[in-house]
Chain A
Amino acid sequence: QVQLVESGGGVVQPGTSLTLSCATSGFTFSTYPMHWVRQAPGRGLECVAVISYDGSSKHYADSVRGRFTISRDNSNNTLYLQINSLRAEDTAVYYCARAQVDGYNQIDYWGQGTLVAVSS
């Protein structure tokens, strides 16, 4: 079955950088667009980045553009999110999510999430 397993979260200081990973299995990773979605404590859900199946197209939310970089390694079925210049407002659970082959923004499966806590 489809599995998405995030890692790389933790407690980090403001201004530092972090890279999240999402290991996938159970589907042909190289044919699916992928998203990163975050959920701040007690708040709703926010899509922060999406990448096309082959990595040629990327889009970012205005709130993270210039600081976040989404990438993928189709040979290792892994999705990444590099976060630079971390801010307190970046504190959230970060989910890796798969989108449908025929729907760039049609998220269907989610990972269990990894918590990023930005604190001095």
Chain B
Amino acid sequence: DVVMTQSPLFLPVTLGQPASISCRSSESLVHSDGNTYLNWFHQRPGQSPRRLIYKVSNRDSGVPDRFSGSGSGTDFTLKISRVEAEDIGVYYCMQGSHWPPTFGQGTKVEIQ
């Protein structure tokens, strides 16, 4: 299985400041169809995950534009331009290019 490694695993943030999460895969996520199926999810305490970003850099409907995704091949990044209180929770990267889809360990974001 493709191993997804996130860093950091814990991210204390300051409201209004930027934040960044890294995700690395153990093999290239470029699919044979040419797409790179790397997604980002956000899970608030007690809730199910919500997808924020799909295919590396595409924001889902209703996702604020302070969230952005970038990267290629095996290295990817989720950035929050200005953290808001509702952004706390755990962020997961997930690859869908290979079966089975696999997730990173999660990055817990808390307001410091």
Task: Identify the A interface with B (CB < 8 A).
Answer: 35, 44-48, 50, 59, 61-62, 95, 100, 103-113
A93 to B104, CA, bound (A): 17
In the complex, what's the smallest C-beta–C-beta distance from A26 to chain B, in angstroms?
Answer: 14
In the complex, what's the smallest C-beta–C-beta distance from B108 to chain A, in angstroms?
Answer: 11
- The list of the 10 closest CB pairs from A to B, nearest first, reads A105-B96, A110-B48, A45-B103, A105-B101, A47-B101, A47-B100, A61-B100, A106-B96, A108-B51, A44-B105
Residues of A near B99 (CB, < 8 A) are 50, 59, 105
Number of B residues, CB within 8 Å of A:
23
Task: Identify the B interface with A (CB < 8 A).
Answer: 1, 37, 39, 47-51, 54-55, 60, 92, 94, 96-97, 99-106
- Say whether B94 contacts A107, CB under 8 Å: yes
A110 to B96, CA, bound (A): 15
- Say whether B39 contacts A107, CB under 8 Å: yes
Residues of A near B50 (CB, < 8 A) are 110
A95 to B39, CA, bound (A): 17
- Say whether A45 contacts B49, CB under 8 Å: yes
- Say whether A44 contacts B48, CB under 8 Å: no
- Say whether B103 contacts A44, CB under 8 Å: yes
Q: Count A-B pairs with CB separation below 8 Å.
A: 55
Q: List 18 A-B contacts (CB under 8 A).
A: A45-B103, A47-B101, A48-B100, A50-B99, A59-B99, A59-B100, A100-B54, A103-B37, A103-B96, A105-B101, A106-B37, A106-B55, A107-B94, A110-B48, A111-B48, A112-B47, A112-B48, A113-B48
Q: Which residue in A44, A95, A103 is a CB contact (below 8 Å) of B104?
A: A44
In the complex, what's the smallest C-beta–C-beta distance from A97 to chain B, in angstroms?
Answer: 9
A104 to B33, CA, bound (A): 12
Residues of B near A62 (CB, < 8 A) are 1
Residues of A near B105 (CB, < 8 A) are 44
- Say whether B106 contacts A44, CB under 8 Å: yes
- Say whether B37 contacts A105, CB under 8 Å: yes
